[in-house]
Chains A and B, each alone.
Chain A
Amino acid sequence: MMHGLAHDEARDALGALALDALDASERAAVLAHVADCGSCRDELSALRETAAKLTYVVEPVPMPDDQRDRVRARLLARAASEPKPKPIPAAPAQAHAPQLRILEPSHVPLNATPRDTPVPPPVVLRPTVVPLNAALVAAQRMEARARWMAAAAIVVAVGSVWALINTREERDEMRVQLQVASVEGRADGRVLDSLRAGITARERFIANLTGPQVAVVTLASGTPRAASARMFWDQSVNAWTFVAHNLPQPRNGRAYQLWLVTASTKISAGTFTPDGAGDAVVRANYALPKGDLAAVAVTDEPARGSPQPTTVPVLVGSTKGR
């Protein structure tokens, strides 16, 4: 049994590992070391990049026509036979009508239509965008601040992707304020309640991003500034928190729309526009069976939102193969 491979020994084998040229037992031992060694990990990722560039030496060799067409036809047939996102089917499917709820404070189902009543126009969660990136709070602004924090629990646009850190700081700050206000007895009950609500909302936000049952879907894009996003799905409470970074501003009259994609439907989780720095956070509550999420996508839509996506996604993250 090889164990505890020395750093030097492992490092010398990283080039061969990147070329996939290690024997199985040595490969396992080196990988075990790499798992615990940051410098070897960095080195390996650089060497893997180098190895990937070796593919540049290959020149195209056309396949024989019959072979090319055969493979293409098989691939498309395989893909077509897979369950996959499809346009929404007609009315009967409403039996499984998604129930998208505003997270806070109302908990009103937006789409809780009984089956036999006329179907309402499609509902799109259109949350308000509230700046979260506040400066230090002056005492006299405390009440107002505490009030918008409850709203911020629905959708917040943040000044940086480090929404979580901001949120932690703000929660801690509010805790201090709450203590000070209670001890000195100078704030009225409403203010204290608002502060408590703000703290609770923030704690929930933090839990939704870091809890033990949070599934994370990373979304990628091809935009020049390399927009990216993560969806945090807290499966214990069906809370969805979407954090996007580097999104270009949509054109006038347009907004981004967030979609939860399953095999049979695309569920709107709201429209949003990023702040000046290209960042946005969107939150929604929606109960989805664990295996049902196929992808999370963002499309460019009219500002009022669309019932179904009408453009190619600017961001998408799939759960396939996970």
Chain B
Amino acid sequence: MNPLSPDSPYPLSSAAAPSPRGDADRAPDDASLLRMMALGDEQAMGALYDRWHSLVHAIVLRMIRQRDAVEDVVEETFWQAWRQAGRYETARGSVQTWLLTMARSRALDRMRAMKRLREEPIEGEQGEVVVQQVADGDPGMDAEAAERRTFVLAALAELPEEQRAALELGYFGGLSQSEIAERTGLPLGTIKTRMRLAMQKLRGRLQVLREEVQ
């Protein structure tokens, strides 16, 4: 429609695109990056990657140990973000949660595929508790993220040990309830009850944790 200016500036292909709200010197927020990605701006994906790869890497690494597989899953996570950028809705949560939930799903897919192929047995992390992963003074997290993390860790710490273990083996271990029962030698009904109670309690505790939308 405008053949006279083939070089007409379309800022979506430039990472330094001015924001319509006039804060041009600030880096675009996550939601803006996703909107730019939805319109095909790969530099926006680069920026999103630079911002979030360490965290995506962390969750994948938590579930999968094989280095090549970790690399693949990180890539597939950002690729999915690229393909689905236009479907992200701010009202439904932060970009961080959106991204990490996808990362976890992709890691689960990979774990299950590996299990089917018997390439590599699932590395059991029996009894490994999230709380053990606390590290001090992490420079990679802003204060708000650190606060949210502390809050969730505290909620997990309030769970009875056996409930927390069941939850962890399911959520980060990628095991189904019957696999957990098999592995722990406990009756399936016991595992089901523990998981259900753990989720009920967490739901109540984490409800106050409103998703901050940038």
Contact = CB atoms under 8 A, between A and B. Distances in A.
Q: Do chains A and B stick together as partners?
A: yes
Interface of A: 12-16, 18-23, 46-47, 49-63, 67-68, 70-72, 74-76, 78-80, 82, 84-91, 93-94, 97-98, 111, 119, 122-123, 218, 220-222, 226, 228, 261, 265, 267-268, 294-295, 297, 299-300, 307-321
Which of A57, A85, A88, A311 has the most chain B CB atoms closer than 10 A to its own CB?
A57
B165 interface: no
B3 A60 contact: no
Contact of B170 (A13, A20, A261): A20
B149 A318 contact: no
B6 A87 contact: yes
Contact of A22 (B38, B151, B171, B177): B177
Given A67-B71, A222-B31, A265 B1 contact: yes
Nearest to A84: B40
Nearest to B204: A50
B17 interface: yes
5 shortest interchain CB distances as A-B pairs:
A318-B86, A84-B40, A222-B31, A15-B199, A21-B170
Given A59-B149, A60-B55, A318-B38, A23 B135 contact: no
Contact of A57 (B42, B54, B74, B133): B133
B122 interface: no
Contacts of B185: none
A222 to B, nearest CB: 3
B198 interface: yes
24 contacts: A20-B170, A21-B177, A23-B177, A52-B93, A52-B100, A60-B141, A62-B57, A71-B71, A74-B75, A75-B45, A88-B6, A123-B1, A220-B35, A220-B86, A220-B89, A222-B29, A261-B39, A268-B1, A295-B39, A315-B35, A316-B38, A317-B38, A318-B85, A321-B83
A222 B35 CA distance: 9
Given A90-B3, A222-B32, A60 B138 contact: yes
A61 B133 CA distance: 12
Nearest to A78: B79
A226 B89 CA distance: 9
Which of A50, A84, A221 has the most chain B CB atoms closer than 10 A to its own CB?
A50
Contact of B196 (A12, A72, A317): A12
Given A50-B203, A56-B148, A63-B74, A311 B20 contact: yes
B42 A76 contact: yes
Given A74-B75, A268-B1, A311-B18, A61 B40 contact: no
B87 A82 contact: no
A315 B20 CA distance: 11
